Amino acid sequence: MTDDTSCMARLLPRLFAGPARRPVASSAWRDVEPDALAPVVLVAGGFLTMPGWYDGLAALLREHGAADVLVAPVYVPDWMLAAARGLGPITTRVGRALLEAGARSAESPTSRGAPVLYVGHSAGGLIGRLLTSPVPFEGRTLNAAGRIGALVTLGTPNAAALEARGGGRWGRRVGEAAARFAEHHVPGAMFAPTTGYVSVASRLLVGRLGSEDDRERFVRGLYEDVYPQPDLDIVAGDGLIPVAAALLPGSRQIVLPDAAHGPSSRAAWYGARANLDAWWPVALDAWRQALRARLAAAPTPSVVTRSHG
């Protein structure tokens, strides 16, 4: 671990627990009907992606009414290191981006300090769940559920193989370790209803056992590598993540008919306009419903009466 990473691991808990970096009125959103608010969105990318891959998604989110959009600054070298060392440093970096998104929310006249709407693609969705954990992950105490109004996962291996396995796909070991941690410490929609949850999957490609089609056999092997389902002859998914792995228990669940896993695919991915039109209204409603739940859970100010005489 580098000195910078070690320092960040020590500082991040203080940043989440302490005051914001700038003077903000973080509760101003409570004075406004949630339907009148717009979220600041934090996008966290998937394994071996770069922020620039999500420029199109960010533009569409702004077009669809997001107050602002920030893409977490995680790059291919960061993911390559994570494949060997674990996802802790990535979680730290995305946590810093969450703080920045919160600061932008506080400055936005249409968000007014409301909790961030988090959109995680693939492994980025798993990172979002780790951020909410009150239990330290790889020495990092994050406990950031209060900062996330809704958590949306796009093609995320939420139910990746939880048994310890060796070998296989590069980077699988650290992904499975993170999935096991999330399953044990932040299972399902743990912080609902004050945090909304939406999980999005796709049935783009089918994998079949014993198929004469080489592609179907290959796709089935990819799905088995993520989430084995040996009792099923046919398994559907987005080309990398099977539907059963992507759907988070307790979340609002959306299964798209033809979304590809990532933005580098020739087919339209989760962030393409037609697919975003299917999940964004659900995400926005989940975010606003979570704000209403927070308002309902807030203590009612006591009324002090004074007697005279």
Residue 193 domain flag: yes
Residue 235 domain flag: no
Can you give the pLDDT at residue 169? Answer: 56
Q: Are 226 and 284 in contact (CB under 8 A)?
A: no
Distance CA 37, CA 155 (A): 27
Residue 126 domain flag: yes
Instruction: Name the E strands within 209-273.
Output: 234-237, 252-256
pTM: 0.87
Q: Which two tokens stand for residue 201?
A: 């999957």
Amino acid at 196: G
Can you give the pLDDT at residue 295? Answer: 96
Residue 226 domain flag: no
Q: Are 127 and 87 in contact (CB under 8 A)?
A: yes
Residue 49 domain flag: yes
Parallel, antiparallel, or unpaired: how do β-strands 234-237 and 205-208 relate?
Answer: antiparallel
Parent domain of 264: 3-202+240-297
Domain count, the chain: 1
Can you give the pLDDT at residue 124? Answer: 97
Instruction: Give me the helices (H) in 143-213, please.
Output: 172-185
What number of other Cβ atoms are within 10 A of residue 289's Cβ?
A: 18
Mean pLDDT by 10 residues, the chain (309 residues): 43 43 66 97 96 96 98 96 91 97 97 98 97 94 95 93 49 81 95 98 92 89 88 92 96 97 84 97 98 88 44
Residue 71 domain flag: yes
Q: Quick one: which of 32, 14, 12 has its CA closest to 113?
A: 32
Residue 227 domain flag: no
Residue 211 domain flag: no
Quote the radius of gyration of the chain (alpha carbons, Å).
20
Q: Which two tokens stand for residue 103?
A: 């600061």
Q: What is the CATH number of the domain that holds 20?
A: 3.40.50.1820
Distances (CA, A) of 238 to 46, 220, 254, 294: 14, 11, 13, 34
